[in-house]
Amino acid sequence: MTSVTKRVPIPPKGVDYRGKLVLAPMVRSGELPSRLLALHYGADLVWGPETVDRSMIGTTRKVNEALGTIDFSRLPSNGSKDPRKDQKESLIYRLHPEREGKRLIFQIGTSDPERAVQAARIVAGDVAGIDVNAGCPKPFSTSGGMGAALLQMPENLAGILEALVKEITPEFEIGISVKIRLLETRELTEALVRRLCATGITGLTIHCRTTPMRPRERAIREQLKMIADICRETGVACLMNGDVATRTQALELISEFGVDGAMIATAAESNSSCFRSEAEGGVAPWAEVVEQYIKTAMEVENRWGNTKYLLTHMIPGKLTVYREMTSAKSYHQACKILGLEHLEAQAKEIDEKLNITPDTEYQGRKGKKNKSAMAAGGNRGGNQNKNRHEGKKNLAERGVQNQPAVALNV
Q: Residue 280's CB: how many other CB atoms inside 10 A?
A: 12
Q: Residue 108's CB: how many other CB atoms inside 10 A?
A: 26
Helix (H) or strand (E) holding 262: strand 261-264
What is the DSSP track for 163-214? HHHHHHHHHH--EEEEEEEE-SSHHHHHHHHHHHHTTT-SEEEEEEEETT--
- The burial class, CB within 10 Å (0-12 / 13-18 / 19+), for 91 is middle
CA distance 52 to 80: 23
Residue 206's contacts (CB-CB under 8 Å, 6 or more residues apart) are: 179, 180, 181, 182, 193, 223, 224, 227, 238, 239, 240, 241
Residue 197's contacts (CB-CB under 8 Å, 6 or more residues apart) are: 204, 230, 231, 234, 236
Residue 274 catalytic? no
SS3 319: coil
DSSP E strands in 312-389: the ranges are: none
Q: Residue 251's CB: how many other CB atoms inside 10 A?
A: 14
Q: Residue 114's CB: how many other CB atoms inside 10 A?
A: 13
Q: Residue 12's CB: how many other CB atoms inside 10 A?
A: 8
> Quick check: 263 and 244 in contact, CB under 8 A?
yes
Task: Exactly one of 136, 208, 231, 335 is catalytic; name it.
Answer: 136
User: Which active-site residues does the annotation give?
Assistant: 136
